[in-house]
Structure 1
């Protein structure tokens, strides 16, 4: 499978999830079965068993094999996407009227043909071989149109406000206590946002990343390091928790319980 560069990984994962949704919907239709059809031997990648998952009546594992097949199709297809789409984010999309016009939603099969003019035929062959597409009914462009529509929609959706992510926190992200009030901590402090972007420490879209902390841990973090140190060296909870001082604090404060607890 194609190797995805680090800077493209985020959009690739979104693309793979969108593709998976489309494939699941397709194979769950009454007349669809995820089984490899017999086809003439060719010299394309699709005919090489080593390069793609194999389905048959005796070894078929629906979840595992579909995951392998999705990985294969996603990685092979993603490399043919326009370069801008591989790394595009909300901030770049929202500031560029040309991009918004080029990727006006919903995308159609004709749009896909224009966006992916050199798509490797072996990808279409693979989908046809496994009964996903049929040129006379629904070709690869029609399959990929809702996938790319979902991708662009996900990319162009503004990130949630920090306060809206509180429900995802199961407790303080440092000490783990889940029965006390939490507040959000900007992992890149707001006082250095402009400097962080100007000096290339962080991308603009990362400035609103937050961690949900209890009051004690929140105050500890700001005693532990100043704003610039937090922005440059401790901009994730994982980085904070690599420090022995933070680990010792978390262990100690995590054992504190109010009366009645």
Structure 2
């Protein structure tokens, strides 16, 4: 690979795509009964290190379209069957053989091809229908009371968000399930533009100090009880 291409590949090691690829490798490793984790070590840690090593070996050899695959770019992502993996480092295949996961280098490349297929299916999958994400508890106060859905990226900002390329189109219908009091508070502490720009996940909302104070208060309130 050219030096510039290698540097670009290493620059996205913290991406969702790289993390997803590593997870796919880990699942493939677990599915092979011949893989034995040393019981003297932390098995979770060992699997993480092993999958990370393999991912780091294979990732730089992938074409950019594969490393940046997403639902939005799904039509430009090559099929695993169309990839040769000829630039895959020998260390990738030798490591799988040494651990007894594959019998030779060709079988190692087939293992990689299947993992890449899993990866493409994962990162190019359509976003979930918002109704399928429904929770039993409010995602802020954690009370089991009637819920509403809060568009994490307010619908009034969608056109602006797409024009400014703030978020991919697949994120536009992301929702959080909130009780009415929490839903009202969210729209009270930030306007639509701020919500779309800075608080577009439930985790970002939970990180606000005023929301944290509200959560502690709301969690102690009993739904349907009228105070005199």
* Range of TM-score over shorter length: 0.7 to 0.9
8 Å contact kept, 1:8–1:86: no
1:224 matched to 2:189:
yes
TM-score, normalised via structure 1 length: 0.73
Q: Residues 67 and 194 from structure 1, CA distance in 2 versus in 1: closer, same or farther, beyond 3 angstroms?
A: same
8 Å contact kept, 2:126–2:170: no
2:49 maps to which residue?
A: 68
> 136, 144, 164: which is aligned to 2:112?
144
SS at 2:96 equivalent: helix
For 1:13 and 1:63, locate their aligned partners in 2 and report how far apart those are by CA, in whole Å.
Answer: 16
Count of aligned pairs: 218
> 192, 205, 224: which is aligned to 1:240?
205
1:43 maps to which residue?
A: none
TM-score, normalised via structure 2 length: 0.83
Shift of 1:4: 5.2
Q: Residues 88 and 256 from structure 1, CA distance in 2 versus in 1: closer, same or farther, beyond 3 angstroms?
A: same
SS at 1:91 equivalent: coil
For 1:60 and 1:256, locate their aligned partners in 2 and report how far apart those are by CA, in whole Å.
Answer: 46
> 78, 99, 117: which is aligned to 2:86?
117
What residue ranges of structure 1 are gaps of 5+ in the alignment? 36-54
Superposition map of 1:118-133 within 5 A: 118-133=87-102
What residue ranges of structure 2 are gaps of 5+ in the alignment? 1-6
Q: Residues 24 and 241 from structure 1, CA distance in 2 versus in 1: closer, same or farther, beyond 3 angstroms?
A: closer
Shift of 1:63: 4.2
For 1:74 and 1:154, locate their aligned partners in 2 and report how far apart those are by CA, in whole Å.
Answer: 16
1:135 matched to 2:116:
no
1:13 matched to 2:41:
no
